[in-house]
Chains A and B, each alone.
Chain A
């Protein structure tokens, strides 16, 4: 397997919410950057974006 193919496989698995089997073996404690962490980050960023848009709309109406 080429490096590109391995990277593609790893990304696909992560997108599906899974991690490569060896990741938990490599790490002693709990894993911090899990697919769930990034789902939470995406939600937080979306919320920030919506808030910014709302603030911009509010500014526009004030003017």
Chain B
């Protein structure tokens, strides 16, 4: 039987019982040298998957500063570099991203001019993705999709979906609460 999960929550103070040294950013970073850190980031950015991601974000309107910030935060989170070194290498990393975009002929914005620039947070990224989704929907509105033909015998509900609630009569029947007349008829037949 499924019990309500009311009490399945952390006990107050439970966080103090865990070992915080398990987090990568609480341990000494892997790289402490400036040039080594820049080289690591350049190699990371040069990976095809990461480059695709960068160019896709640029298409969505993310600027170079925001993308650099995301890459640096990821490196900090993974324990590759410390916060101080991440700030030091921000310049070379952004410059390299810029050069890659120029080389691939991708339009981009630096994000240095706008003082009210919004940093690329998960919420901002979701908003940008929603805009992209809406744009693709508006395109599908212009070009209507062919109507789907109903498939015979297809059930609307899934196999695991909740059944409809039985009527009070059905419930009574299931409980063996059958009216006496019906019981008599059944006995006569037998």
Partners in one complex: yes
Given A33-B35, A38-B95, also A7-B112 (CB < 8 A): no
In the complex, the answer to whether A4 meets B92 with C-beta atoms within 8 Å is: no
Q: Which residues of chain A come closer than 8 Å to B87, judged between CB atoms?
A: 3, 6-7, 10, 20
Q: Does A54 contact B (CB under 8 A)?
A: no
Residues of A within 8 A of B111 (CB): 8
Contact residues of B between 90 and 140, Cβ < 8 Å to A: 90-92, 94-96, 99, 102-103, 111-112, 117, 119
What's the minimum C-beta distance from B106 to chain A, rounded to whole angstroms? 13
Inter-chain CA distance A4–B34, complex, in Å, is 19
Structural contact, A49 and B103, CB atoms closer than 8 A: yes
B176 to chain A, nearest CB (A): 69
Within 8 A of B (CB), among A31-63: 31-33, 35, 38, 41-42, 45, 48-49
CA distance A39 to B102 in the complex (A): 13
* Inter-chain contacts of A31 with B (CB < 8 A): 34-35
On chain A, the residues within 8 Å of B35 by CB distance are 27, 31-33
Closest to B120 in A: A4
Residues of A within 8 A of B92 (CB): 14, 33, 38
Closest Cβ–Cβ distance, residue A20 to chain B (whole Å): 6
The residues of B that contact A35 with a CB separation of less than 8 Å are: 91, 95
**Contact between B72 and A38, CB atoms less than 8 A apart:** no
Would B99 and A15 count as touching, CB distance under 8 A? Answer: no
Q: Is the CB of A11 within 8 A of B65?
A: yes
CA distance A14 to B73 in the complex (A): 19
For A10, A23, A31, A33, which residue has the most chain B Cβ atoms within 10 angstroms? Answer: A33
Tell me the bound Cα distance from A34 to B35 in angstroms: 9
B88 close to A11 (CB less than 8 A): no
Select B99's contact among A13, A33, A38, beta carbons within 8 Å.
A38
CA distance A42 to B100 in the complex (A): 9
Query: Which residues on the A side are within 8 Å of B73 (C-beta)?
Result: 3
